[in-house]
Amino acid sequence: MLRRSLIAFSIALVAVDATLAKKETAIPPAAAKQKQLALVRVNVTGQSYDYFRPWQKKAPFSKRALGAVLSKGRVLVTADLVGNQNYVELERAESGEKTAANVQVIDYEANLALLEPTEKAFLDGITPLEITPDTVVGDRLAAWQLEPTGALIATEGLVTTVQMMPYPIEVGQFLTYRVSIPMQYRENSYTVPLVKNNKLAGLLLRYDSRSQLLDAIPAPIITHFLKEAESQNYRGFPSAGFSFFPTRDPELRQFAAEKGKGGGVYVTNVEPGTPAMKAGLQVGDIVTGVGNNEIDQNGNYVDRLYGKIEFTNLLTAHAYAGDVVPFRIERNGKPMQLNVTLEHRDAKDYVSPPYNLDQPPRYFVLGGLIFQELSRQYLKEWGPNWQREAPQRLVYMDHFQSELFPQRTRRVVILSQVLPANSTIGYDDLAYLTVKKVNGKEITSLDQLAEAVKQPVEGGFIKIETEEDPKQIELDAAQVAAEAPALQENYGISSLQRLQ
Amino acid sequence: MKRLVVIVYVGFLLAPFLHAQDSTPAPPPVEPQIPGQQPGPSRSSPPGQAVVPVPVPVAPPKPNGPVQKSLVRITATAVEPDYRAPWNAGGLQRGVGAGFVISGNRILTNAHVVANSRYLTVERDGDPNKYPATVQFIANDCDLAVITVPAPDFVKNMIPLKFGGIPALESTVSAYGYPIGGERMSVTTGIVSRVDFQLYSHSSIDQHLAIQISAQINPGNSGGPVMQDAKVVGVAFQGYSGDVAQGVAYMIPTPVIKRFLQDISNGHYDEYPDLAITYAKLQNPAQRRFLGLKDDDRGVLVSSVVAAGPSDGVLRQGDVLLAIDGHPIASDANVEVEGERAQFEEVVERKFKGDSVKFDILRDKQPMTVTIKLYKPWPYSVQGHSYDVRPRYVLYGGLLFQPLNLDTLEAYRLSDLRLRHFFEYFILDQIYLQHPDVIVLSNILPDPINTYLAPYRGGIVDEVNGKKIRTLGELADAFAQAPERLVIRMIGDGPPLVLDRNKVEAARERIKTRYNVAKEQNLQERPEAAESKQANKT
């Protein structure tokens, strides 16, 4: 049941091809001067939380990767690499010298993280990479990796597309370079830097060895991340909080009182509490422009570098949380302007949080009944095909959460499994039930559940009502309490609850 | 008794939504066809439960007498509805199964041998003739059918078989039939391995008593008698394909057969009634005390009562069922019936539409007695296979709307999360109250008027021009009385689907011609009784 998504993003080196060297391109002619390479090895030991036994962590994993050395003694890696880490170590490529490192800033959604060596002088002598933000389709980029000796391996590829794509965490979409490049599997690594003219153009996001296509986190996203990382309070990439649909269909255009062949997208949903809602955007509005950019019927604007690309790029790559972005809209055929103050939506601001890394899962054990809060991180415990393999009712609730739980501030508490014990005899087969009430009180978070169980109903029973069959479960409160130490001992449960 | 939730797909990500025709041309009349083999296990493999047994067939030696004087070989030509092009007649299929003569010059066989049939012939041992036959009664919920042969001299020299009871475990039985389509009777023997409730894969929703036997049973045995001491103790009907389990075959036991024969004795088949409740065992001591029960291992807890079922308004969530018609219900839901322990639903299984069942219950710790008048709740039919029906649909502007049911789900291999939810929780979440038909925009026949509508495919219709649409008939009416502009809202937060009536009207003939659509809608599953079985002429 282990999720091994990581494999998908791990990568690979490629031997330098003799012919490659002849081409005059992105590969630095200075490859021989290894000492100056702005690459360090990054060794990570980490442990994921075990959502099926939420009181414990899984067995440790280790990953070896590369980091791109940036100015001010910082090392850029992907968040994938250092998520759930216990210990991070930097290693000089040429000398093998090592030091511990701290994660300074991490953005799981954009899949980027900054490391900082504990030993300040560790990166001395390395000329940091500058960042080049102007990569366009047709450019050649070199993927930099290291031989065991510390020598550079560079593989060259062609940027074939620049488009908006989901990142591993799948919260929104971000600008992505797609590069056609023949890489082979090698021992390390996450985080392969892509370089143009000795400057950092992107960072490996994922690689498909069959099609030899590599997706890269592009420089504009990296720059955005770095810029915000310099402020005291890292908030993350902003969003507006509405969904939209193309207006290509003439009947839909007429319905929305759109005349002529103008552009714009049809607003299909505005989520409560989001910047779009606060700015007054409504379902049925046509968004025709963002900032100074016109939006066409498919939702694209014309980017200076890339040509047509989806307008959400204007909100993620170009804007920051807190920015006020003017939206030009048409409502019932009348043009209007709305000023949307963008915000970052934290994972905790979802009913079913899309990810939860570096933080332990919350749970509550009651006489062998294990209660948890629904989250995508929990569902991902079913592995890469979790959307088909996890309990379908829970996947449904996660997927349609904004529709099913418009109030947005709640959690869905589930009875995730039952550990057989005396107090839970006859309940052994129950699993994946959503909890409605406990002792008569509505339950919209684990904290409420923890409070509610303290007040048993008449007769000293704890009564749990579930959305699904069997609809009601009763426990003897005194028996549960008396049995707790034995339960902990039997199943090796270090603590019966974690609510923080 | 109904299976709880049906989950079907083995896992198709993107269904081939293209307008591919599934209907097969009439197969050449080559003999070794799979006899009356119906929905195999590949079509539905519920979680937890291994795999649904495939209908299979059977044949024997002499301890049971001259069985060949009773056995018949049935060849059925069936038309399988094409849910992806529902205006078409569907593909022709041919199969062979077995049957046997019972009292009243009737032939008993499996429903799946004759379901959807358009033409039936019957052969018997030592007679070169093929006799046309007609289906007199068909019970798709328990996979049994009675057919008759009009030719008067057919029954001459045929010996009707008599029924026995439930054979003892480990006793030997013999199965008779025409496995793998052979023309001569075949016999296999085995022992009775287990008596238990089983899913009947023909409908994929009904569970009844079934007897597992170790005799080799294969396609072509279906409908054949399984005998012991010269009496029929079951009808061979399903098994597993060899790669799942071997030596596991099932027969329909005589209580189910006798019930069927009794049901049809009034001239029509009424189907099994169902309590339409779910319940939980009461094995937890604390829960028992909470409910005010004695420590006597009795009672089950009512979890859900289906509003469309006969228990609605009589039973409610939280009731404890203590006894059914005077038989005490144990806390593991078993009762003793005629010396056998069985799930308490077995008592209901033996009843008929209109019969009553009496429960002793405990409600809020007070003992009560309630009576339920039984009938079959309609929503279950959505989760099972249908036979001898014409698919319902509405085609408007090239958009094909169909009600969601097991047949459409499988035909399109629908894997959409929302559709799956609406299907699986149709009953448990009482979705049928709001959406008696879950109407899906299942396909789009491309035309200039629907060029940009592809993203709407797979959506569930919620309302048209502000009016909630509950059934396919209401949708057809909304289209028939359309104002100039039709605004169709789908469930969820997608955009509205907007149509211009005049453009749709102008495109009608064009679409009908281009896609060879004979009829733009069918709102009735069962056409007038008269026209359906015309095909059987000599």
Q: Take residue A457 and report the two structure tokens written for it.
A: 């109903």
Same structural domain, B283 and B209: no
CATH number where B317 lies: 2.30.42.10
pLDDT, average across residues A277-293: 96
- pLDDT tens readout for residues A363-420: 999 999 999 999 999 999 999 999 999 999 999 999 999 999 987 789 999 999 999 9
Partners of B418 on chain A (C-beta within 8 Å) are 396, 400
Question: Which DSSP symbol is given to B285?
Answer: H
Partners of B417 on chain A (C-beta within 8 Å) are 387, 392, 395-396, 399-400
Same structural domain, B306 and B249: no
B290/A400 touch (CB, cutoff 8 Å), yes or no: no
State whether residue B500 sits within 8 Å of chain A by CB: yes
Cα–Cα distance for residue pair A490/A70, rounded to 1 Å: 51
- Confidence grade of residue B338 (pLDDT, cut at 50, 70, 90): confident
Partners of B291 on chain A (C-beta within 8 Å) are 474
- Å between A269 CA and nearest CA of chain B: 6
**Which of helix, strand or coil describes residue A98?**
strand
Which residue among B284, B415, B498 sits closest to A255, beta carbon to beta carbon?
A: B498
Could you tell me if residue B478 is inside a domain? yes
Selected from 3.30.10.20, 3.20.190.20, 3.40.50.2000, 1.20.1440.230, the CATH number assigned to the domain covering A351-498 reads: 3.20.190.20
Question: Following DSSP, what letter does each residue of A197-212 receive, concatenated?
Answer: TTEEEEEEEEEETTTT
Same structural domain, B512 and B404: yes
Residue with tokens 């207006």: A247
Q: Does position B34 have pLDDT exceeding 50, yes or no? A: no
Cα–Cα distance for residue pair B394/B480, rounded to 1 Å: 11
Contacts of B429 (CB under 8 A, 6+ apart): none
B290/A463 touch (CB, cutoff 8 Å), yes or no: yes
B417/A268 touch (CB, cutoff 8 Å), yes or no: no
Chain A residue nearest residue B504, CA to CA: A251
Instruction: Tell which of B14, B283, B287, B465 to mutate to test the A interface (max A CBs under 10 Å).
Output: B287
B304/A402 touch (CB, cutoff 8 Å), yes or no: no
**CA A43-A49-A50 angle, 5° bins:** 130
For residue B240, give the nearest of B56, B59, B112 by alpha carbon.
B56
Chain A residue nearest residue B450, CA to CA: A249
Cα–Cα distance for residue pair A20/A26, rounded to 1 Å: 11
State whether residue B290 sits within 8 Å of chain A by CB: yes
Which residue among A250, A251, A425 sits closest to B285, beta carbon to beta carbon?
A: A425
Could you tell me if residue B537 is inside a domain? no
Average pLDDT score, chain B = 86
Chain A residue nearest residue B428, CA to CA: A468
Same structural domain, B342 and B477: no
CATH number where B406 lies: 3.20.190.20
Backbone angles phi, psi at B269, to 5 degrees: -95, 125
Containing H/E element for B536? none
A114: alpha, beta or left? (left if phi > 0; alpha if psi -120 to 50): beta
Instruction: Tell which of B444, B452, B486 to mutate to test the A interface (max A CBs under 10 Å).
Output: B452
Same structural domain, B325 and B417: no
CATH class, A5-229 region? mainly beta
Same structural domain, B169 and B297: no
Q: Does position B58 have pLDDT exceeding 50, yes or no? A: no
- Confidence grade of residue B414 (pLDDT, cut at 50, 70, 90): confident
Could you tell me if residue B460 is inside a domain? yes
Same structural domain, B200 and B309: no
Q: Does position A184 have pLDDT exceeding 90, yes or no? A: no
State whether residue B447 sits within 8 Å of chain A by CB: no
pLDDT, average across residues B337-359: 90
Could you tell me if residue B530 is inside a domain? no
A266/B495 touch (CB, cutoff 8 Å), yes or no: yes
Can you tell me the ipTM of this complex? 0.88
Q: What pLDDT, on a 0 to 100 scale, did the predictor assign at position B54?
A: 54
- Measured in whole angstroms, the distance separating CA A374 from the mean position of its chain's CA atoms is 17
- Å between B308 CA and nearest CA of chain A: 18
Number of helices and strands in chain A (H, E): 13, 29
Average pLDDT score, chain A = 90
State whether residue B492 sits within 8 Å of chain A by CB: yes
Instruction: Tell which of B498, B499, B502 to mutate to test the A interface (max A CBs under 10 Å).
Output: B498
Q: Take residue B349 and report the two structure tokens written for it.
A: 């299984």
- Å between B95 CA and nearest CA of chain A: 35
Instruction: Tell which of B279, B485, B493 to mutate to test the A interface (max A CBs under 10 Å).
Output: B493
Q: For chain B, how many residues are written?
A: 538
A476/B286 touch (CB, cutoff 8 Å), yes or no: yes
Q: What pLDDT, on a 0 to 100 scale, did the predictor assign at position A36?
A: 64
Answer for the pair B45, B10: CB distance below 8 angstroms, yes or no: yes
Cα–Cα distance for residue pair B260/B206, rounded to 1 Å: 14
Chain A residue nearest residue B492, CA to CA: A403
- pLDDT tens readout for residues B490-533: 999 899 999 999 999 999 999 999 999 999 999 998 865 444 33
Could you tell me if residue B483 is inside a domain? yes
A475/B455 touch (CB, cutoff 8 Å), yes or no: no
Show me where the domains of chain A are located: 5-229, 242-341, 351-498
Cα–Cα distance for residue pair B71/B184, rounded to 1 Å: 11
Q: What is the pTM of this model?
A: 0.87
Question: What secondary structure, in 3-state letters, does B216-227 show?
Answer: CCCCCCCCCEEE
Cα–Cα distance for residue pair A168/A162, rounded to 1 Å: 17
Which residue among B286, B317, B495 sits closest to A252, beta carbon to beta carbon?
A: B495
Answer for the pair A251, B502: CB distance below 8 angstroms, yes or no: no
Partners of B278 on chain A (C-beta within 8 Å) are 469
From B245, B265, B285, give the residue that closes a domain. Answer: B265
B495/A245 touch (CB, cutoff 8 Å), yes or no: yes
Residue at B156: amino acid letter: K
Q: How many CA atoms lie within 13 A of A292 on its CB side?
A: 3
Same structural domain, B281 and B348: yes
B417/A248 touch (CB, cutoff 8 Å), yes or no: no
Q: By CB neighbour count within 10 A (0-12 exposed, 13-18 middle, 19+ buried), where does A62 fall?
A: exposed
Cα–Cα distance for residue pair A423/B284, rounded to 1 Å: 8
Please report the sign of the dihedral spanned by the C-alpha atoms of residue A36, residue A37, residue A38, residue A43: negative
- Percent of chain B beyond pLDDT 90? 73
Same structural domain, B349 and B424: no
State whether residue B317 sits within 8 Å of chain A by CB: yes
- Confidence grade of residue A94 (pLDDT, cut at 50, 70, 90): confident
- Å between B14 CA and nearest CA of chain A: 13
Cα–Cα distance for residue pair B229/A255, rounded to 1 Å: 76
Which residue among B286, B425, B500 sits closest to A461, beta carbon to beta carbon?
A: B286
Helices (H), B328-393: 345-349
Answer for the pair A53, A59: CB distance below 8 angstroms, yes or no: no
Q: How far is CA B97 from CA A449, B189, B227, B231, B237, in A?
A: 59, 18, 17, 20, 10
Instruction: Spell out which chain A residues touch chain B, with contact meaning CB-CB distance below 8 angstroms.
Output: 243, 245-246, 248-252, 254-255, 266, 268-269, 283, 387-388, 392-393, 395-396, 399-400, 402-403, 423-427, 459, 461, 463, 468-476, 479
Which residue among B420, B451, B496 sits closest to A392, beta carbon to beta carbon?
A: B420
Q: Take residue B371 and report the two structure tokens written for it.
A: 């009576």
Partners of B281 on chain A (C-beta within 8 Å) are 426
- The correct answer on CATH 3.30.420.40 for the domain covering A242-341 is no
- Å between A166 CA and nearest CA of chain B: 19
- pLDDT tens readout for residues B473-489: 999 999 999 999 999 99
B286/A266 touch (CB, cutoff 8 Å), yes or no: no
For residue A130, give the nearest of A205, A203, A68 by alpha carbon.
A68
- Å between A205 CA and nearest CA of chain B: 24
Answer for the pair B47, B193: CB distance below 8 angstroms, yes or no: no
State whether residue B446 sits within 8 Å of chain A by CB: no
Q: What pLDDT, on a 0 to 100 scale, did the predictor assign at position A19?
A: 38
Name the residue range of residue B369's domain: 277-373
Of A178-187, A317-326, A356-365, B393-402, minimum mean pLDDT range:
A178-187
Question: Following DSSP, what letter does each residue of B79-147 receive, concatenated?
Answer: EE--TTSTTS--EEEEEEEEEEEETTTEEEE-HHHHTTEEEEEEEETTEEEEEEEEEEEEETTTTEEEE
Q: What's the Rg (C-alpha) of chain A?
A: 26
Q: Take residue A8 and report the two structure tokens written for it.
A: 């998908």
B498/A252 touch (CB, cutoff 8 Å), yes or no: yes
- Å between A248 CA and nearest CA of chain B: 7
Q: Does position B185 have pLDDT exceeding 80, yes or no? A: yes
Same structural domain, B148 and B216: yes
A396/B283 touch (CB, cutoff 8 Å), yes or no: no
Q: Take residue A215 and report the two structure tokens written for it.
A: 């997706």
State whether residue B145 sits within 8 Å of chain A by CB: no
- pLDDT tens readout for residues B128-179: 899 999 999 999 999 999 999 999 888 888 999 999 999 999 999 999 999 8
State whether residue B457 sits within 8 Å of chain A by CB: no
Question: Which DSSP symbol is given to B264?
Answer: G
Question: Which DSSP symbol is given to A110?
Answer: T
- Confidence grade of residue B265 (pLDDT, cut at 50, 70, 90): very high
Of A186-195, A428-437, B393-402, minimum mean pLDDT range:
A186-195
Cα–Cα distance for residue pair B78/B82, rounded to 1 Å: 12
Same structural domain, B400 and B365: no
Partners of A403 on chain B (C-beta within 8 Å) are 492-493
- pLDDT tens readout for residues B10-20: 222 222 222 22
A245/B455 touch (CB, cutoff 8 Å), yes or no: yes
pLDDT, average across residues A462-466: 97
Please report the sign of the dihedral spanned by the C-alpha atoms of residue B282, residue B284, residue B290, residue B292: positive
B9: alpha, beta or left? (left if phi > 0; alpha if psi -120 to 50): beta
Tally of structural domains, chain B: 3
Partners of B482 on chain A (C-beta within 8 Å) are none
Residue at B494: amino acid letter: G
What are the catalytic residues of B?
Answer: 112, 143, 222
Cα–Cα distance for residue pair A491/A483, rounded to 1 Å: 12
- Percent of chain A beyond pLDDT 70? 91
Containing H/E element for B492? none
Same structural domain, B366 and B420: no
Backbone angles phi, psi at B26, to 5 degrees: -55, 125
Question: Following DSSP, what letter does each residue of B16-80 receive, concatenated?
Answer: --S----PPPPPP--S-PPTT--S-GGG---SSS--PPBP--B---STT--GGGTEEEEEEEEEE
Could you tell me if residue B23 is inside a domain? no
